[in-house]
Amino acid sequence: MIQTGIFGASGRMGTLLVQEVQNDSDMELSSVYARDGVQDLRARNLPVADSIEEFLQSCACVIDFSSKEGSMELLRTAQNLGLHKPMVIGTTGLSQGEFENLKTLSQHCPILYASNMSMGVAILAKISAIVAQTLKDSDIEIVEYHHRHKKDAPSGTALTLAQSCAKARGLDLQNVRISGRDGIIGARSKDEIGVMSVRGGDVVGKHNVGFYLDGEYIELTHNATSRLTFVKGAINALKWLVSKPNGLYSIQDSLGL
Ligand code: NAD
């Protein structure tokens, strides 16, 4: 039995994770923690921890879908307590510095970080890199669509896809990413990679990676139609991670891609 703690347990993702872990015969829900909605978690008789310390001490491994502040607090506490437990982290919007913190802690415990836990997006990233490299002259434009509640933009997934394309072309994404166009902006430069965000309704997540040439274009699209895709992906990732040595892993690693 994998004794699992869910961090961010009252959120859209956390609620589904709690249900799936409870229904999984290989897993045991040993602790939950959230900043909001704690009363409701208690009313459902879930093993709510009063502090992050207690949360970490009550579980053998963690799945975290919270917020950038929450994930950083979780990592800091684990580090301070010297509790080095396998963690699957799906929180998006981390800054470069915050990602470095995550990398540092992964020297002491196995961590799998993915801005998107779906197998489809992992494959899309791989195919996008191949197309970016093969169609060297194509203009790359990525458009992502998410529900109206999403806090960060562009989505972590769109940035991951852009990173795959930039790397395939030997470019530094920071120097070539454009995330908005307005006014007299002039002609598009050859290397730029557009990453645009649309927000509305209840869209779970759509990513379109376009490669535009003169006379033809390819568009590769991934649609997430249910959050369960990410939840099941995170649970499978944790089952894979628990037997791994310390280090930072990607969803591609867990899928053998
Ligand atoms: P949400 O706002 O519905 O839920 C966030 C949860 O985290 C809540 O339980 C909240 O109480 C808790 N939380 C927030 N800040 C906290 C803190 N400082 N300390 C403790 N708990 C805290 O969000 P959501 O839609 O469930 O998404 C959560 C995160 O997961 C977001 O970053 C989102 O972009 C990301 N996400 C990732 C994937 C993926 O596949 N990697 C898929 C969907 C969402």
Whole-number pLDDT of residue 191 = 97
Same-domain pairing of 173 and 78: no
Residue % of the chain over a pLDDT of 70: 100
150: annotated active-site residue: yes
Asked whether 85 and 219 are in contact (CB, 8 A), the reply is no
Q: How far is the CA of 156 from the centre of ligand 1 (A)?
A: 13
What is the number of domains present in the chain? 2
Same-domain pairing of 74 and 141: no
Pocket perturbation via mutation, ligand 1, pick of 92, 207, 252 by most ligand atoms within 8 A of CB: 92
Asked whether 209 and 142 are in contact (CB, 8 A), the reply is yes
**Average confidence score pLDDT of the chain:** 96
Question: What is the average pLDDT across 63-70?
Answer: 97
Say if strands 193-199 and 139-146 run parallel, antiparallel, or are unpaired.
parallel
Q: pLDDT tens across 121-175, in order?
A: 999 999 999 999 999 999 999 999 999 999 999 999 999 999 999 999 999 999 9
Q: How does DSSP classify residue 195?
A: E
Q: How far is the CA of 169 from the centre of ligand 1 (A)?
A: 33
Same-domain pairing of 212 and 175: yes
Same-domain pairing of 13 and 84: yes
Question: Residue 149 sits in a domain of what CATH number?
Answer: 3.30.360.10
Burial class (CB in 10 A: 0-12, 13-18, 19+), 182: exposed
Report residue 211 CA to chain centroid gap: 24
Q: Range of 66's domain?
A: 2-113+227-255
Same-domain pairing of 8 and 108: yes
Considering the entire predicted model, what is its pTM?
0.92
Same-domain pairing of 219 and 170: yes
Closest residue to atom 37 of ligand 1, CA basis? 90
Whole-number pLDDT of residue 84 = 87
Say if strands 205-212 and 139-146 run parallel, antiparallel, or are unpaired.
antiparallel
Question: Residue 30 sits in a domain of what CATH number?
Answer: 3.40.50.720
Whole-number pLDDT of residue 53 = 97
Integer Cα distance of 239 and 246 in angstroms:
15
Q: Say yes or no: CB of residue 55 within 6 Å of ligand 1.
A: no
Q: Say yes or no: CB of residue 35 within 6 Å of ligand 1.
A: yes
Q: pLDDT tens across 17-45, in order?
A: 999 999 999 999 999 999 999 999 999 99
Integer Cα distance of 154 and 116 in angstroms:
13
